[in-house]
Structure 1
Amino acid sequence: MSRLCRSILLASTLLVPLAQPGRAADDPSYSRQEDVIYGRKHGTALTLDVFTPEEDTNGLGLVMVVSGGWFSAHEAIPLPLIEPLVGRGYTVFAVVHGSQPKFTIPEILQDMHRAVRFIRHHAEDYGIDPNRIGIYGGSAGGHLSLMQGVAGDEGDPDAKVPVDRESSRVQAVACLYPPTDFLNYGQPGENALGRGILEGFKAPFDFHELDPQQNKFVTITEEERVLEIGRDISPVNHVGPDDPPTLIVHGDADKLVPIQQAEVIVEKLQEAGVEARLVVKEGAAHGWPDVPKDVETFADWFDEHLRQSDDEGPGELTSASKADQPPRKVVVGTAIFGPYGDDPGLDERLEALGGLIDEMARRAEEKYPGEGLDLAILPETVVTSGRGPAHERAIPLDGPVRETFADLARTHRTYIIAPMDLAEEGPQGTTYANAAALFDRRGEVAGIYRKAHPVAVLGTDELEGGITPGDEYPVFDCDFGRLGIQICWDIQFDDGWEALAEQGAEVVAWPSASPATAQPASRAARNRYYVVSSTWREDATVFEPTGLVAAQVEGSEGVLVHQIDLSYAILGWSAPLRNGRAFTEEYGDRVGYHYEPREDLGLFWSNDPQTPIGEMVRALGLEEHDAQVERNRRLQDAARGGPVARP
C-alpha cells in the first residue's frame, strides 16, 4: 500500500468514532441545510451544513470543524458531536474544508478563515450574533480550531468581495486532543511535519508554492522554509493576550497526539492572561467511546463564555483587570529620522529605513536577550518623498514597499508600522492618504490606518496637498496586544484617541513630524494606554499610561528600544507605598516600577510569570489609583447628597 493511501486510510479512521449515526435527518428538533457553499478554490466548492434548532435558539453560532488527519468529507459530519449543542440552542455550522491529500495545512487554514468570514457575514440570515461565535473540533479539527482562536484576523477592509472584509476571529474555543507544536512534538526538538509520530500523514505537510515561470505548483524542499511553515501552522506560536477562552479535553495515554501538546499551549495561554483549561481523561488514548459526552462539557464552556448576561451590552465580552493578568512584555522600537534633503529616490529611502529596523532588532536582542523586537514604528510619511502635491508624492503599497517591509518583518519576526503617502485605486478613481501600513510577523499586511485629520497649513485650505481624510479608527489585534495608530495632527482632535480607548487599545503608535510631548503624554494618561511617538526631529518617546515618560531618545537622529508591560497597576502616593520601596523590599527583582515623587504617581508591573502585579498590590494592602479615585467619588457624592451641581 502506498504512503498516500495509508495517510488517507488513517485519516479516515480518525473520523469514524466521531461520525456515528445520530437522530434521523428529519428530526423535528432541528433543521439541516446541506451543502451551503462558503467559498471556491481551484474549481472546488467549499461547503458547510447548517444545523438550526427548531425552538429555543439562543442566537449563538458554533463552527464545528469536520477534520481528522486533515481529511474532511461531507459524509464524515459527526451528528453525535453536533446534536447535543443544537439541543442547547446553538446553531452549528459543520465546515468541510479542502481535504488532504489535495490540499496542505496552510491551504486548509485559509478555508477555515473563509468559513468564519462567511458565517459572520451572513449572521443575520442565520439569526446569530456576529460578535459571539465559537469553534470546536477534535484531533486535526482541534488543531484547526485552535489556529482560528489564536490566529484569526480582522479581514481586509479594502477587499472587493464583502465576505473577505469580515473578521475571522472567534470568541471561544473548545477542542479534543489537538496538535499544537509540530516542531516540539511530545518532547523538545521533535519534528512531526509528516515525520516521526505523524509519518503516516505526509500529504498535509507536503508544502508547495506556485512557480510563476513553470506555471505549476512545486514542492518546497528547503528545510529552513519547511521549518518556518511548521512554526507558522503551530498554534503555540501565535498565542497572545487577546485570544479567546480555550478548553481542551485530552487523554493522558494518547500516543498519536501526546498530552504534552495540550499542556504546553494551555500553559502559554495562561501566561498570556487568557482563560484556558485542560481536562485530562485518565487512561484515554486518541479518542474514546463516550467522546460525545464531552460535548456537554463543550456546551457548558460555550454557555459560560458566549452567552450574554443581563449586565452586558451587545457584543461585549468581559475581561480581567490589566493588573490581574500575568506579565505581558512587549519590546517596542522607534526612531528620530528627519525628512530628506535632496530626495534620494525610493530604493535608497527603503534601504535607509531597513537599516533603522535592523538596528532596532539588534538593540532589542542586545538589551533583552531572547525577547526580540515586537513592534517597530517609523516616523510619519518617511517611506515616500516629501516634495510636491499628494498626487506626485503618493505611491502604491504593492511593489517595492510591500516587498521590503514584508521581508524585514519576516527576518526580524516583528510587527512594523510603515508610514507613507499612499495612492489607492477605487470606484472614484485614485485617492491619496497619509497612511500607516501595519505588517505582521509573517510579512502580511495586517491593516492600514489613514490619517483622519490631515492639516491645512497657514495660507492654504488644501489638506496636505490633496490628501483625503480617513474615516475610521481601527484597532489591530496583534499577538502581543491591541494596537491603535494616530498620525501627527490627529493629536489635536479627541475623537480618534477616544475611539481607540473605547475599542480596548493598549498601545497607540504616533508617527509624527512633530516632536510634541505634552499632548501625547496627556492622551496616554487620559486614556490609560501607552503612546509611542516616532518623529522627524528632537525626540522619540515612550509614554506610559500614567502620562510619564518611560524612555526617550533625543537629537537629530536616533533609535530607541524599550520594553513595556501591558499588565500593570497605577498607584498614587500613600505612606505604606514609600515611593515604591515597599515593593522592592517585599519582592525584589520580581517587580518593576517607575514611580515619580514629583507627580505622586507610578506604574508598577510584575516580572514573575506566576504572580500578577494586582496580587502583589493587594498583598501589600495597597489600592490602585483609579479605584481609589472612584471610591472617593462615591464617598463624596454620598456625603453631599449627590454630584456637584454644574451651572
Structure 2
Amino acid sequence: MNLPLRVFAAMVLATMVLVSAPAKAQDGKKKGFITVATIGASPLTVSGDTKPQKVVDRVIAHWRNQFSRVLPDRPDLIVVPEVCDRPRGLSPEAQDQYFITRGTQVQEFFATVARENHCYIVYSAKRAMDDGTWRNSSMMLDRQGNVAGIYDKNHPTIGEIDKGILCGNKAPIVECDFGRVAMAICFDLNFDELRQQYVEAQPDLILFSSMYHGGMMQQYWAYSCRCHFVGAIAGRATPSQIRNPLGIVVASNTNYFDHAVARINLDCALVHLDENWGRLSAMKAKYGPKVKITDPGELGSVLIASEHDTISIDAMIAEFELERLDDYMARSLSHRMKPAITESVKTKP
C-alpha cells in the first residue's frame, strides 16, 4: 500500500513523540491539592430541663448551621472538635439519657451532609459499643456517607476513664481517595508512643479533634510525622489551625470566625539542604513555578511540592537524585557508626 508522503511523515512524527515522551509524565499523579475545612465551634448550650430528643434536634440544627459556613468552599474534608455533639448545661444523668436517645441520629446527619456534598467528614463523639461500654471516637465518613475508618482515643484523661470511657489500643490509617489519614484526640498529643506509630505509618494528614490546643506539640507532630496536621479545637478563643509538614500554620480561625479553610498540596516531601543545594536549584530551573520550595528558616529542612499536572514530587526527587530528610538522617546515623568515627569510652583507673 502506497501512502502519501505527508501522511507517512505525520505517522513517523507521531510515533517519535510517543516514544520520546517521558514515562514519568505518563504515570500521572496519585496526590495533589485538596480543600480542607476545620470548624472550631463551641459546644451547644441547652437548658437542663430540655427533653432528650429536643436536645438531639438542636444539636443537629447547630451543626447544620456550622457546616453552612464552610460548604460554599466545596471542601474535600471537614474536621470538627472532640465530642462535637455533647451539649453543655445537662446534669450527668440528663447527659446519659441524651446519649441514649441520640443513638446514631447525629452520625446519620453528618453522613447525609457528606453524601450530599461529596466530601469526607470527621465525626468525633462519645460512641456506644455493642457490649455496653463507651469510647471517645473519631469516625471518618467518606463521600458517600459510609464509615471509612474509626479511631478510638488511645489516651483518655483520668477523668474520662473514671466516667466509663475505655482506652483505645489501635492507631489505624484510613485510606481516602486523596491520601492516607491518621487521627488523634485531645490528650493523645502528649504521648510519644502514639506519635511514633504515626511516624512509622507515614500518613499524609493527621486530623486532631480536641478540647485543648496542644501548643508546640502540634508543630512537633506535623514535622516529626512529615505530614499536614489539621486541628479542630472547641471554642473560637483557641485556634483551630491547618499546618504543613514543616509545622507552619497555613490557615487559622480568628476572633471573628470559628472556622478556617485552606487548599493544601499533599504531593510534597521534606528534604534537608545538606548536599541538596545544587539539585534543588536544578529542579527549580527546570520546573519553575510547577515546583514550590518552602524554607521556614533556621531549620535546615525545606518542603518541596509538585504543582505539575502529571509529574509527582516523587518523580522529581528521583529525577534529580534528591535525598529525603529521613534518608539523610538515617545515613548520618549509619555514618556515625563506622569504625574510628566515634571516640572510645575511657574507663577511670
TM tier relative to shorter chain: 0.7 to 0.9
Mapped pair 1:335 → 2:39: yes
C-alpha change, 1:624 and 1:472, in structure 2 (3 Å) is closer
Counterpart for residue 336 of structure 2? 636
C-alpha change, 1:614 and 1:479, in structure 2 (3 Å) is closer
The question of whether the paired residues in 1 share the 8 Å contact of 2:226 and 2:269 is answered with no
SS of 1:463 mapped into structure 2: helix
Q: CA deviation at 1:452?
A: 1.9
Mapped pair 1:412 → 2:117: yes
Counterpart for residue 5 of structure 2? none
SS of 2:157 mapped into structure 1: coil
C-alpha change, 1:485 and 1:556, in structure 2 (3 Å) is farther
For 2:119 and 2:241, the matched residues in 1 are separated by: 19
Letter in 2 for 1:351: A
Say which of 582, 596, 606 aligns to 2:296.
596
Letter in 2 for 1:424: M
Q: CA deviation at 1:572?
A: 3.0
C-alpha change, 1:422 and 1:445, in structure 2 (3 Å) is same
SS of 2:158 mapped into structure 1: coil
Say which of 536, 547, 561 aligns to 2:261.
561
The question of whether the paired residues in 1 share the 8 Å contact of 2:29 and 2:310 is answered with no
Q: CA deviation at 1:503?
A: 3.7
For 1:501 and 1:397, the matched residues in 2 are separated by: 36
For 2:247 and 2:339, the matched residues in 1 are separated by: 31
Counterpart for residue 391 of structure 1? 96
Counterpart for residue 310 of structure 2? 610
Say which of 127, 148, 164 aligns to 1:446.
148
For 1:489 and 1:392, the matched residues in 2 are separated by: 26
SS of 1:555 mapped into structure 2: coil
Uncovered stretches (5+) of structure 2, i.e. residues with no partner: 1-23, 48-53
Identity %: 23
Letter in 1 for 2:151: Y
Letter in 2 for 1:456: I
Q: CA deviation at 1:513?
A: 0.5
Counterpart for residue 463 of structure 1? 161
Counterpart for residue 82 of structure 2? 380
Mapped pair 1:535 → 2:233: yes
Counterpart for residue 472 of structure 1? 170
Q: CA deviation at 1:557?
A: 4.3
The question of whether the paired residues in 2 share the 8 Å contact of 1:396 and 1:422 is answered with no
The question of whether the paired residues in 1 share the 8 Å contact of 2:44 and 2:62 is answered with no
Range that drifts further, 505-514 or 342-351: 342-351
The question of whether the paired residues in 2 share the 8 Å contact of 1:336 and 1:556 is answered with no
Mapped pair 1:432 → 2:189: no
Letter in 1 for 2:77: L
Q: How much is the aligned-residue C-alpha RMSD, in angstroms?
A: 3.3
Mapped pair 1:513 → 2:211: yes
The question of whether the paired residues in 2 share the 8 Å contact of 1:397 and 1:422 is answered with no
SS of 2:298 mapped into structure 1: coil
SS of 1:394 mapped into structure 2: helix
Deviation per CA, 1:358-387: give whole Å up to 9, x if none. 3323124xxxxxxxx221110111112244
The question of whether the paired residues in 2 share the 8 Å contact of 1:385 and 1:393 is answered with no
C-alpha change, 1:448 and 1:617, in structure 2 (3 Å) is closer
For 2:80 and 2:284, the matched residues in 1 are separated by: 36
SS of 2:240 mapped into structure 1: strand
Letter in 1 for 2:64: G
Name the structure, 1 or 2, with higher relative contact order (CA <8 Å, separation 6+). Answer: 2
C-alpha change, 1:603 and 1:445, in structure 2 (3 Å) is same
SS of 2:254 mapped into structure 1: strand
For 2:26 and 2:233, the matched residues in 1 are separated by: 35
Letter in 2 for 1:356: Q
Counterpart for residue 544 of structure 1? 244
Q: CA deviation at 1:339?
A: 2.5
Counterpart for residue 346 of structure 1? 56
Letter in 2 for 1:341: T
- TM-score when normalising by structure 2: 0.76
C-alpha change, 1:622 and 1:500, in structure 2 (3 Å) is closer
Letter in 2 for 1:530: H
Letter in 1 for 2:42: G
For 1:525 and 1:535, the matched residues in 2 are separated by: 20
Q: CA deviation at 1:554?
A: 3.2
The question of whether the paired residues in 2 share the 8 Å contact of 1:331 and 1:375 is answered with yes
Counterpart for residue 273 of structure 2? 573
C-alpha change, 1:397 and 1:605, in structure 2 (3 Å) is farther
C-alpha change, 1:643 and 1:341, in structure 2 (3 Å) is farther
Letter in 1 for 2:44: Y
Mapped pair 1:271 → 2:28: yes
The question of whether the paired residues in 2 share the 8 Å contact of 1:637 and 1:643 is answered with no
Counterpart for residue 494 of structure 1? 192
Q: CA deviation at 1:511?
A: 0.1
- TM-score when normalising by structure 1: 0.43
Q: CA deviation at 1:605?
A: 0.8
SS of 2:337 mapped into structure 1: helix
For 1:425 and 1:433, the matched residues in 2 are separated by: 11
Letter in 2 for 1:616: M
SS of 1:632 mapped into structure 2: helix
Deviation per CA, 1:249-294: give whole Å up to 9, x if none. xxxxxxxxxxxxxxxxxx9994344xxxxxxxxxxxxxxxxxxxxx
C-alpha change, 1:585 and 1:345, in structure 2 (3 Å) is farther
**How many residues in Structure 1 have an aligned counterpart in Structure 2?**
311
The question of whether the paired residues in 1 share the 8 Å contact of 2:107 and 2:123 is answered with no
Q: CA deviation at 1:466?
A: 2.7
SS of 1:422 mapped into structure 2: strand
Counterpart for residue 105 of structure 2? 400
Q: CA deviation at 1:581?
A: 7.5
C-alpha change, 1:514 and 1:614, in structure 2 (3 Å) is same
C-alpha change, 1:504 and 1:636, in structure 2 (3 Å) is closer
Whichever of the two has the greater Rg, that structure is: 1
Q: CA deviation at 1:409?
A: 0.6
For 1:520 and 1:577, the matched residues in 2 are separated by: 29
Deviation per CA, 1:298-356: give whole Å up to 9, x if none. xxxxxxxxxxxxxxxxxxxxxxxxxxxxx433322112212333368222222222333
For 1:586 and 1:594, the matched residues in 2 are separated by: 17
Letter in 1 for 2:241: T
For 1:391 and 1:269, the matched residues in 2 are separated by: 56
Deviation per CA, 1:475-533: give whole Å up to 9, x if none. 22212222121110111112223233434432121100112231121122222232211
